[in-house]
Chain A
Amino acid sequence: MSAEMTVFFNNQLSEIERLGQIVNEFAERHQWSPQALFEVNVALEELLTNVISYAYEDTQDHEITLHLAFADGEMTAELEDDGQPFNPLEKAEPDLSTPLEERPIGGLGIFLARKFMTDLTYQRHDGKNLLKLKKTITNEE
């Protein structure tokens, strides 16, 4: 039973479905609570969707790497892509006090990812974008 795995995704939104399956299997193997699984799933969906949607200016195929690890009650995930420099964490937090008429349609994805992770950081290195996610996870009762 490895507590680490590396998965490669193509820059196609259809990959999000596969991401869900992979995270589900990983969570099951490590007996995460349904709540923890849900939160990790949403955070990774939001961040991978962002990469696929905004990191590439061309229409070529690109490989996005996800490294998942779990040890001592902490999940770490690293999402790496070779797209243009793009730090999703620079995005301003949404203003949740505005009425419906003034609410933008979107802008909640990165906010959800931040809320669901204990720690979320961005680095640009070797021509790649690297997002590091950390989350403290309690096992299923």
Chain B
Amino acid sequence: MEVSEEKKGDVLIVGVSGKLEVTNSRAFEERILAVIDAGERQLVVDLSRLDYVSSAGLRVFVTAAKLLNSANGKIVFCSLKEPVREVFDIAGFFSIFSVYDSQDEAVKSL
């Protein structure tokens, strides 16, 4: 699992790649919480290079979204690969999160 950050205007794009599982989800959560703590309020989570996610990763997304919601911020997702899309679907995430096909669309939505 690797995490990247890129700033586009007021939006922070967080890319997470590889496998997001129970053994590394805490490290990912710490990264996300750190950027929110540092004042980022508009997050695009780019999943174009994420091949694997389990419930441990889903917890981080829900935690970050709740935190940003209560701080008048927003988190959106983009570029889901098929396995990740399937997990989002089963978890009912399409009804609570905005998910875009491309990073551009995601950035423009904020």
User: Which residues of A pack against B, CB within 8 Å?
Assistant: 13-14, 16-17, 20, 34-35, 38, 41-42, 45-46, 49, 94, 96-97, 99-101, 103, 105-106, 108-109, 111-112, 115
B66 touches A100 (CB 8 A): yes
Q: B59 — which chain A residues lie within 8 A by C-beta?
A: 105-106, 108
Contact B23 A112 (CB under 8 A): no
Binds A, one of B32-40, B87-95, B99-107: B87-95
Instruction: State A101–B65 Cα separation when bound (angstroms).
Output: 9
Query: Are A49 and B22 neighbours in the complex by a CB distance under 8 Å?
Result: yes
How many residue pairs link A and B with beta carbons under 8 A? The number is 67
Q: Interface size bucket, B side?
A: 20 to 34
Contacts of B91 in A (CB 8 A): 96, 108, 111-112
Task: Say whether B19 faces chain A, with CB atoms less than 8 Å apart.
Answer: yes
Taken together as a complex, chains A and B put the C-alpha atoms of A134 and B24 apart, in Å, by: 27
Q: Is the CB of A101 within 8 A of B83?
A: no
Chain B facing A: main interface SS: helix
Q: Which of B23, B83, B87, B90 contacts A13 (CB 8 A)?
A: B23
Pair A45/B21 contact, Cβ less than 8 Å: yes
Given contacts A38-B83, A96-B95, A101-B69, contact A108 B23 (CB under 8 A): no
Q: Which of B23, B52, B55 contacts A14 (CB 8 A)?
A: B23
